[in-house]
Amino acid sequence: MHILGIDVGGTGIKAAIVDTQTGELASERIRILTPQPATPAAIGATLKELVAQQQWSGPIGIGFPAAIQRGVVRTAANIDKSFIGLPIAEYFSQQTDNPVYIANDADVAGLTEMRFGAGKATRGVVLIVTIGTGLGTALFIDGHLLPNTELGHLLLENGIEAEKYASETVRVTKELKWKDWGARFNLYLTTMEKLLWPDLIVLGGGASAKLHKFSPQITTQVPVVAASFLNQAGIVGAALFAEQELRRAS
């Protein structure tokens, strides 16, 4: 099945047609900067533009940086607060004139890694952490997702919210060396390990491609690996989520 996958991030919005059988992209990936302020209307207009550029008509899967419960946005850490309470799938369907299926960005990235990537065939507990504007998490047990975990907002033992201490944005804005940022991120991962005892941790998002630069700082007992799809996991997973919902409905 071919589905348009869209990854809405705090910085950029990326779209490509995805072959859900193989997890490969079936069109060129197009990226547009996230409009500021990132209001529902402004993001809706960007989605419409991406759909037009991809000459797409059909189901659309979207990974979105918020907790989404039964189609309704519940949190807005790095997006406009006016999203809270919005029936977002319905809203973006109207804006793009196509059926939209939407879920948390880290959750959909996790779907990709569990089906085709680094978590493939891993039984037990797998934690995916996406490192970007925020810190996103997805938690799987024997391949099944526990949605909307939002563990990037956990307070660390230093009293600071994890994503305000160890996200990609923090590394860039504070101009931290990989070594110093790595030590911060390690505090996050070791905290996660103590609380969840995962069998595997998979890192996604922009910084996952740079794991070799901060792996010396990682002291967890559990193996920590980079996402096979790196930051493409979001686009592919958005399409996988839409496919899953379409199958559920039929």
CB of residue 111 to ligand BGC, shortest distance in Å = 13
Half-sphere exposure of 149 toward its Cβ, with a 13 Å CA cutoff? 23
Build a one-symbol-per-residue string for 114-153: x at contacts with ligand BGC by CB under 6 A, - elsewhere. Answer: ----------------x-x-x-x-------------x-x-
Cross-sheet strand order for the sheet of 200-204: 144-146, 135-141, 125-131, 200-204, 224-226
Kindly tell me which of 107 and 243 has the beta carbon lying closer to ligand BGC.
Answer: 107
Taking the alpha carbons at both ends of the chain, their separation in whole angstroms is 14
CB of residue 78 to ligand BGC, shortest distance in Å = 5
Q: Alpha-carbon distance 240 to 234, whole Å?
A: 10
Kindly tell me which of 26 and 209 has the beta carbon lying closer to ligand BGC.
Answer: 209
User: Considering only residues 51, 62, 67, 224, which one is a binding residue for ligand BGC as defined by CB under 6 A?
Assistant: 67
List the interface residues with ligand BGC, window 150-189 (CB under 6 A).
150, 152, 163
198 forms beta bridges with none
CB of residue 59 to ligand BGC, shortest distance in Å = 22
CB of residue 250 to ligand BGC, shortest distance in Å = 28
* By the rule CB under 6 A, 234 interacts with ligand BGC: no
Q: Among 74-82, 168-176, 183-191, 207-215, which window interacts with ligand BGC (CB under 6 A)? A: 74-82
> What residue type is 198 in one-letter code?
P
Kindly tell me which of 37 and 58 has the beta carbon lying closer to ligand BGC.
Answer: 37
List the interface residues with ligand BGC, window 16-55 (CB under 6 A).
none
CB 244 within 8 A of CB 170: no
Q: Among 60-68, 87-95, 116-124, 174-182, which window interacts with ligand BGC (CB under 6 A)? A: 60-68
Residue nearest to ligand BGC (CB): 134
Burial tier of 108 (Cβ tally within 10 Å: 0-12, 13-18, 19+) = buried
Half-sphere exposure of 155 toward its Cβ, with a 13 Å CA cutoff? 4
Build a one-symbol-per-residue string for 79-118: x at contacts with ligand BGC by CB under 6 A, - elsewhere. Answer: -------------------------xxx------------
Enumerate binding residues for ligand BGC (CB under 6 A).
65-67, 75, 77-78, 104-106, 130, 132, 134, 136, 150, 152, 163
